[in-house]
Each structure stands twice: as C-alpha cells, then as structure tokens.
C-alpha cells in the first residue's frame, strides 16, 4: 500500500499543478515523472525499499489496466468517418515512422530498446504508447522516463508550431485537422492543436488521433512477437504474444462500437485511464536513476526530433497528395 498510495499522490499532484497553474501545454504524465524523481531523492534508499512492492504493482498491473481502458474512447464508426484515404495515410505514416525511428536509432547509436520506445511514442500516442510497448517488452525505467520526456517535448513543440505552419501553408480546416491528428504525439496535444483552427478541424483531428490510438494494439502485438523471438537469448519470461491488456483494449473498442458501453462507463474510463497512467509514470520516476538518464546523452533526443519531423512531413505529404 505505501507504494501505491505514493504513486496516487504523485498523480494527483501532477493533475493539480496542471489545473492550478494553467499548464495546458504540459502533460500531467510528464509532471508525474518529475515529481516521482523528486520524491525519490527525498525518500532515500530506506524509503524506496518500503515503497518498492507498491511501485512494482503500479508499474505493471495498474499500467496495463490503464492502457486497456483507452479502448473505451474509440469506436469503429467514428474512425470510418475519415474515409479510406485518410485511414491509409495515417496508417502508412505511422508504419513509416516506426521504421525510420529504428533506422535513425542505429545511425545515431541509440540503444535499440530506447529507439523502439521513442519511435512508438512518436508514431502512435505519446506516453501511452511508450507505456504500452513497455508492458509488452523488457524496457527499463530509465529508458521509459527518457522516452516519455523526449516525445512530450517534441509534441509540445509541435503544438506551438503547427498553427503557424498551417497558416503559411494555407491548409483547409479538414486537412489541418487530419495533419494534427496524424502526427502530434499525445491525445490531448493533438486535439487541442486541431481545435485551434476551428470546430471542423478539431473534430477531424480528434477522430484521426483515435485511429492512431486504435493502431496501438497491432503495434504492441508486433513488438511482442519480435521480443518473443529474441526471448531465447534474454533471461526472464517471454512476453505474451497477445497480452491480456491488448485483448481487453480490443474488446472495449468492439463493445463501444456496438453501443454496449453505458455513457457513465465511458466517462469513468476517460478519467480513470489518464490517472492510472500518471500513477504509473510517477512510480517510474521513483525508480528512475537520474545518473543513468544523464548517461544516455543527447542522441536519443536527436532521434525524437528526427522522428517527429519525419512523421510531420510524411503525413502532410500524404494528406496533400491523396485527399481532396
């Protein structure tokens, strides 16, 4: 209980800071990591030993529940409203970004595990994707903390630049919304940026982002397959080919699409999932060693910036080429 309670307090503190200080451009998930790292220094080695069991529970089972609950926000009908061309552009840009991230990570000599986390966070849905991939692979807390900080920083820069770029490119509201939803990292960042160009752009951007969230399941399954194939040379149990939280994620999408989820359930999932994610990140901050983070150097950040630029360019080219 001490570790779970502390993780919950860190998450509550992160959301409170965002609300009280009006930090809309800052994700509570990132603040939870930072608060966790501060709490790590305050607790000392003895305090961390007391909280370690609860921290491990938060980082594993509770994190998986949070990722699963994201499916309650997605419906097939809403996604289909984008049309075949829109769906194809987003999926192709996502896949290309994942491949580009692996290639650039090798070129920059970034550790493969960290490169995969940054690529997933950039291509899909920011911190949520990083955490989902972490649950299906063997990433450590330092890699997770660095990847989340990296993709959040890049997503925040995108929020500031996209409205200016859209004005210079004279993008129509639908095209702008698609671009924001197809390429900005966090769900909240993408939706807020899309609505800056009006209601039509905001609604299209929200649906485009939900399609990327839905693609989280096949990506996690694919990465789990890759990890399982390498499991013979890596100590520890092999990750499941179809993790239970991914199965639950898909079931919730199907149930929501069929109208089987009451509004109260969907609304509850909408605030429980982000809070559990913030708890998991706060717990990871408690375990993250700042010295190990500094040892990563600037190359992973360059990878994140490069992947962000690639995704923004690829999705914009596809939108302007294929869509009217």
- Report the pLDDT value the prediction gives residue 306, as an integer from 0 to 100: 95
Q: Is the pLDDT higher at 295 or at 8?
A: 8
Dihedral angle sign, alpha carbons of residues 142, 148, 56, 249? negative
- Report the pLDDT value the prediction gives residue 136, as an integer from 0 to 100: 65
Q: Tell me the pTM.
A: 0.71
Q: What is the mean pLDDT of residues 261-289?
A: 82
Residues near 257 by Cβ (< 8 Å), separated by ≥ 6?
74, 75, 76, 77
Q: Is the pLDDT higher at 84 or at 134?
A: 84
Q: What percent of the chain has pLDDT over 70?
A: 87
- Which pLDDT band, with edges at 50, 70 and 90, does 324 fall under? low
Reported as a single tens digit per residue, the pLDDT across 79-122 is 888 888 888 999 999 999 999 999 999 999 998 888 989 999 89
DSSP-derived 3-state class of residue 197 = coil
Helix (DSSP H) and strand (DSSP E) numbers for the chain: 16, 0
- Which pLDDT band, with edges at 50, 70 and 90, does 232 fall under? very low
Q: What is the mean pLDDT of residues 10-37?
A: 78
């Amino acid at each position: 209980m001490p570790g779970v309670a502390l993780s919950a307090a860190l998450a509550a503190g992160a959301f409170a800071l965002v609300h009280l200080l009006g930090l809309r451009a800052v994700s509570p998930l990132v603040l939870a990591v930072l608060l966790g790292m501060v709490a790590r220094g305050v607790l000392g080695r003895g305090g961390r030993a007391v909280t370690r069991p609860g921290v491990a529970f938060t980082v594993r089972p509770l994190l998986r529940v949070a990722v699963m609950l994201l499916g309650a926000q997605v419906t097939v009908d809403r996604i289909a409203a984008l049309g075949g061309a829109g769906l194809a552009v987003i999926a192709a840009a996502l896949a290309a970004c994942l491949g580009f991230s692996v290639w650039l990570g090798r070129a920059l000599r970034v550790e493969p595990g960290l490169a995969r986390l940054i690529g997933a966070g950039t291509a899909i849905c920011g911190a949520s994707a990083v955490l989902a991939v972490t649950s299906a692979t063997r990433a450590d807390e330092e890699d997770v903390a660095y990847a989340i900080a990296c993709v959040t920083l890049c997503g925040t820069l995108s929020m500031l630049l996209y409205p200016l770029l859209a004005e210079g490119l004279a993008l129509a509201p639908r095209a702008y919304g698609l671009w924001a939803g197809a390429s900005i990292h966090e769900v909240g960042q993408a939706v807020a940026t899309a609505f800056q160009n009006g209601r039509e752009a905001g609604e299209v951007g929200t649906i485009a982002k939900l399609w990327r969230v839905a693609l989280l399941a096949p990506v996690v399954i694919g990465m789990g397959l890759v990890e399982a194939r390498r499991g013979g040379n890596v100590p520890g149990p092999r990750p499941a080919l179809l993790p239970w939280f991914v199965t639950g994620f898909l079931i919730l999408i199907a149930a929501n699409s069929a109208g089987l989820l009451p509004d109260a359930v969907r609304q509850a999932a909408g605030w429980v999932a982000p809070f559990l994610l913030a708890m998991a990140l706060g717990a990871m901050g408690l375990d993250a060693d700042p010295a190990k983070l500094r040892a990563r150097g600037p190359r992973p950040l360059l990878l994140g910036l490069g992947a962000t630029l690639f995704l923004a360019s690829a999705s914009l080219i596809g939108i302007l080429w294929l869509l009217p």
